[in-house]
Amino acid sequence: MISARTAHFLTEALSAAAAIAAGDQLRVFEALATGPLTAAELATRCGLAEGAAQRLLSALASIGALGRENGGYGLTVEPGLLRSQSDLWERLPEVVRGGSSTGFDETSIAAAAYPTIVGFLGALDVPAARRAAVLLAAGLPTSAHVLDLGAGAAAWSLALVAEKPSCQVTAFDLPPVLEATRRAVDAAGRTDRYRFLAGDAFLDELGGPYDLALVANVIHLFGEARAVELLTRVAAELSPAGQLAVIDVIPGGRAPSRRAALHDLSLLLRTSDGALHSLNSYAKWLRRAGLEPITRHRLDAGWEVTLVLATAPADIGAEAGPNIEVVQAKP
């Protein structure tokens, strides 16, 4: 029998999706792109019933899609984000039948899609990034050089700079995405700790050597062959005793959490062969890239966000820190 908690979640999830779809169809988000509006102003502009418009706006504000501003309502995210995500999920039945994915793992598509969503994705990462920063900063030299590969909104490296202000970060991403990275770094007041390198991680120089390379929420976009290729390229950029930190959602042996399962479903929509990969897979791939020992640390008690840390050959035999499990890959 369904629990009350599950019933509430399903009801809210369906209602939230319907409210966002209605806001898109009624051009509410398009109208608010010019600035905050009251319910009366929005009703006039979009041809809505004022009382019903007020209730829709209130519902959208309750789920964070809108914010309340000076008696009116304004957007809290990029105007195109909600539409793009709604359009993405509408394709789920087609993709499950065997249709093609949206292709966010392809360079040209990623360059067009990610600039509007990296801020939203970065906000999701902030709590776990702070925990990862504490772990990573402890092992860094004073003036460490750090690569943030696929930096996006730079949530992971900004947290590290806050913890270890003496480090210098190279933020690497596709040229259009890197503009969003610059804005995030500027907003955080950390521009002096960054250099920005635009390119394709599979083709272009990564600018090493580095004491630490962050590869956060990137590997899940690819299958095994490209994952190994990318990890091997990054490993080649490490200094002796340098470390590669993979951060991703890594389910354990049991059934994944609700958030992890839905995240994995989104990867079916967004990528040709991306998925949430097992810890054993990451351990094998990192060893193929020439890195060990390999350790892991769970970053979020609520779901399976995990830091996997691998060390360049000069540091083989180092002991794992407290609360970190040494990973032994299965055959």
pLDDT single digits (tens) 170-185? 999 999 999 989 999 9
Task: Give the model's pLDDT for residue 119.
Answer: 72
Question: Residue 221 CA to chain centroid, in angstroms?
Answer: 11
Mean pLDDT, consecutive 10-residue stretches, the chain (331 aa), reads 90 94 93 94 97 97 92 86 82 92 74 71 84 94 96 94 97 93 94 97 95 97 96 96 96 87 93 94 95 91 92 57 42 39
Residue 99, SS3?
coil
Q: How many helices (H) and strands (E) does the chain have?
A: 13, 10
Tell me how far apart the alpha carbons of residues 299 and 311 are, in angstroms, rounded to a whole number.
19
The pTM assigned to this predicted structure is: 0.85
Q: Among 143, 145, 84, 88, which residue's Cα sits nearest to residue 117?
A: 84
Distance CA(327)–CA(306), nearest Å, equals 13
Judged by DSSP in three states, 295 sits in strand
Coil, strand, or helix at residue 271? Answer: coil
Paired tokens of 186: 């500027």
For every residue of 150-207, which 3-state class applies, written as one string?
A: CCCCCHHHHHHHHHCCCCEEEEEECHHHHHHHHHHHHHHCCHHHEEEEECCCCCCCCC
Q: Which domains does the chain have, with CATH numbers?
A: 4-90 (1.10.10.10), 108-326 (3.40.50.150)
Digit-coded pLDDT (tens) for 3-26: 999 999 999 999 999 999 999 999
